[in-house]
Structure 1
Amino acid sequence: MNPRLLKLIDSVVGRTAAAIIPPPSLVLQPHLPKSILVIRPGGIGDAALLAPALHALQRSYPGVSIDILAERRNAGAFALCPGLRSVSRYDVPAEFFPVLRSSYDVVIDTEQWHRLSAVVARIVRAGIKIGFATNERRRLFTHPIPYEQDDYEADSFMRLLTPLGIRGEGEAECSFLAVPARDAELVDQLLGGLKGRRFVALFPGASIAERRWGAERFASLAALLVQRGIGVVVVGGESERAAGRTVEAAGGLSLCGRTGLAATAAVIGRSALLVSGDSGILHIAVGLGIPTVSLFGPGRAKKWAPRNGYHTVINKELPCSPCTTFGYTPKCPGNARCMADITVDEVKGAVLAVLEKIISHPK
């Protein structure tokens, strides 16, 4: 289902249902839950940064069965999270309704604002229902949890586990995603002559135009890196094919549209560094422990920018940014100057500095 249609349904049906459905009653559960449903609609980045909380659940409750209810657009990210029992899609009726009829010890809704997922959490049979208390959705949980706009999102997700007595300190400070073996083998063939060579991965895409740095700038960056003997590989889906061709003309290798999400993660996992805007692909690199240079403008760097490790964040911090709240970015009257003002030389310098740091201080 189209994300815009889902949001429209949420604004009408979700808002009404959240306001009239009776609050749940708390039912005491066994000390160790045996089954947990985690609801995660939304994009790839949210799914990737949810992984540390999933690991904390698995560590705290050995043998627990964790089912995920995702969307078509982000379900593939959970292939990078080992140990899950199942992944179903919210917007595929044949997969959604069996989940709705199931029962669990705990339901955790990780959506930050929209209400439909909270309604689902309320309907599914479970004694404990946890979710963010950002609007009238708070009525539908036995344990509503505060949400802060300036907290790193992986930490926000971890806070959802506090009613279960789980803190999860340090889960997001190390690698928390893993590439399936079959996808790693496929990438060896796709990389061709770059196999075994140091290369930088570039992701020129973004979910909205305001977050895009521009294919021509990525191509100029690629040309400068190739001149220094550094390989360049462009990753992305069908929507990045044109940008990939532009970068390929500058000397890079484009794999845009040739790999699924897990194989794209495998390419990033082979790279020395990823350059990306504020995107789900950026968070996959972080989850794989790959250094990054990230370009921020409309998005909230405090919430979404990588922390610690070999990560550099370029953010002009204009007075009008960040302008994104709960995933909504208004149309920019200034042609996204917060992104346009980031220069190619600035990004090249950041890339070379991170590569030098890696060489001087390997992990």
Structure 2
Amino acid sequence: MKEILNYKSWQSDSLPNRILIIRLQAMGDVAITLPFVQSLRNKIPAATQLHFLTRNEVKDIACSVKLYDWIYSISGGRSTKLQLLSLLLLLPKLKINKYDVVIDLQRNKLSRLVRRFLNPLAWSEIERFSATSAGDKYQKAIEAIGLCSIDLNTALQLKNPNAGSIKLTNAGWNPSNKIVVLNPAGAFSTRNWEIENYVKYAELWKAKFPDMQFLVVGLKAISKKSLFLKKMLKDDIIDLVNGEGTSVEEVFAIINKSYFVLTEDSGLMHIAWVSGIPTLSLFGSSRSDWSAPQGEHSLCLNSSDLECGNCLLEVCKYEDVHCLSRYTPEFVLDKTIGLLKRIGKL
């Protein structure tokens, strides 16, 4: 779908004092905004304040990095009515800030309400339904303001780079080993590579490169998979899913210590590639044109070459998830090594 980019560019000779950026959901999408806003931050004066508006459920993503001067969030869970109520209570506070620019990276009824209520001198909003990546959409919307050109900047500064280090060490990490993250966290069966494939992949990797140690970290939703990997790989893998778990801040810091990430389509996948960590993603039914990792340090094995590809279905209509089952552990490891060699990491 071809869309028109809606915006009103900055016309003043002086630079804006305050910019509000809006992205309300979800975890991965908020993560994708970071390297593009980081590029903007680096190219505008330090005196120009950057504020961020998001939802309570995902604000820890933005709070984990040194980027924004202030972060606002609304409550309401997944209820649009409750989100609206929370937003209406917040609007007077936002109005006091007298934003010169509003960059709407969400473009829904709530974010448009914010922009119209604040009535900034300049504004832009994403092409929400265009067949381009989220990163490209964010970049175009930010550049439409006319302040500067931006690019993908993965040099994010964490507020607490040592978060999670004690948990990692207590769970069995040997600091002399490189960390390879295995992330079997796709939301549906059509986004899942068979868990046995991860075991074989790890065994093949360990045979070639003994100084590697594997890690599973993230949501409790993959607890059973993490326990299976621990049972099969024993001391070669660290399980940070079970037990007390990890916070978003800790996951961010731990991922930044990693050497490589093999991942299904998930929020953690986006945390990895926006942090500049070499990332190979297995996409299955996900639309790779919308949300594949970006940058030379990323590679996406996706389904766009198949007639049924990018289907977005939760259950495969052919019952075999061919878009992922066709990839053997040997093939994926070969692609891993190729990626690492290409970027000079191997």
Equivalent in the alignment of 1:74? 58
Corresponding residue to 1:321 among 300, 309, 321: 309
Structure 1 residue 220: Cα displacement = 3.2
User: Which residue of the other structure, out of 129, 145, 149, is the alignment partner of 1:164?
Assistant: 145
User: Cα–Cα, structure 1 residues 25 and 111, in superposed 2: closer, same or farther, change >3 Å?
Assistant: closer
Aligned: 1:99 with 2:90:
yes
1:211 corresponds in structure 2 to: 191
Aligned-partner Cα distance in 2 for 1:320–1:98: 45
Q: Which amino acid letter does the alignment assign opposite residue 288 of structure 1? A: S
Read off the aligned partner of 2:322 and give its amino acid letter: R
| Residues 318-354 of structure 1: per-residue CA shift (max 9 Å, x gap) | 1121134xxxx56542343322332222223223444
Q: Given that residues 59 and 73 in structure 2 are in contact (C-alpha distance below 8 angstroms), is that contact kept between their aligned partners in structure 1?
A: yes
**1:276 counterpart = 2:263:** yes
CA distance in 2, matches of 1:91, 1:280: 20
Count of residues in correspondence between the two structures: 320
Distance in 2 between the 1:120 and 1:216 partners? 47
How far off its partner does 1:234 sit? 0.9
Q: In 1, are the aligned partners of 2:183 and 2:216 still within 8 Å (CA)?
A: yes
Q: Does 1:260 align with 2:243?
A: no
Give 2:16's match in structure 1, choosing from 33, 41, 62. Answer: 33
CA distance in structure 2 between the partners assigned to 1:236 and 1:70 by the alignment: 21
1:50 paired residue number:
33
Gap change, CA 1:178 and 1:25, over 3 Å in 2: closer
The equivalences for 1:287-326 within 5 A come to: 287-316=274-303, 317-324=305-312
8 Å Cα contact 1:272/1:290 also seen in 2? yes
1:100-150 Cα distance to aligned partner (Å, 9 max, x none)? 1122222221115x433223332335333321355xxxxxxxxxxxx6313
1:124 to 115, 118, 121: 118
**What is the distance in 1 between the residues matched to 2:182 and 2:294?**
19
Q: TM-score, normalised by structure 2?
A: 0.80
Unpaired runs of 5+ residues, structure 1, are 1-22, 135-146
Aligned residues of 1:210 and 1:298 also touching (Cα < 8 A): yes
Aligned-residue offset at 1:309: 2.6
| 2:91 paired with 1:111 | no
- Cα deviations by residue, 1:57-102 (Å, 9 ceiling, x for unpaired): 3232422222212123322211343131222323357974553112
Q: CA deviation at 1:301?
A: 2.2
- Contact 1:50/1:154 (8 A) holds in 2: yes
Contact 1:29 1:127 in 2 (8 A): no
Residue type of the partner of 1:333? K
Following TM superposition, by how much is the alpha carbon of 1:238 offset from its aligned partner in structure 2, in angstroms?
1.4
Question: In the aligned structure 2, how far is the partner of 1:60 from the partner of 1:196?
Answer: 40
Distance in structure 2 (CA, Å) of the matches to 1:179 and 1:320: 43
Contact 1:177 1:288 in 2 (8 A): no
1:86 aligns with 2:70: yes
Query: Residue 3 of structure 2 aligns with which residue?
Result: none
Within-5 A mapping of 1:346-361 = 346-355=331-340, 361=344
- What residue is the counterpart of 2:158 in the other structure? 178
TM-score, normalised to structure 1, is 0.76
Distance 1:235 1:71, change over 3 A: same
2:318 to 302, 309, 334: 334
Tell me the C-alpha RMSD between the 2 structures: 3.2
Give the 3-state SS of the residue equivalent to 2:300 in structure 1. Answer: strand
Question: Cα deviation per residue 1:283-322 (whole Å; 9 max; x = unaligned)?
Answer: 2111221111111222232342234433332224211211
Kept in 1, the 8 Å contact 2:24–2:55? The answer is: yes
Q: Helix, strand or coil for the counterpart of 2:100?
A: strand
For 1:320, give the aligned amino acid.
C
Q: What does the per-residue CA deviation read over 1:14-61, in whole Å, with 9 as the maximum and x for residues that have no partner?
A: xxxxxxxxx999997673221222111222221122113322332324
Tell me the equivalent position of 2:134. 153
Higher relative contact order (Cα pairs below 8 Å, separated by 6+ residues)? 2
* Cα contact 1:42–1:71 (8 A) shared by 2: yes
Q: Which range moved further: 33-42 or 55-64?
A: 55-64
Alpha-carbon distance, 1:197 to partner: 0.7
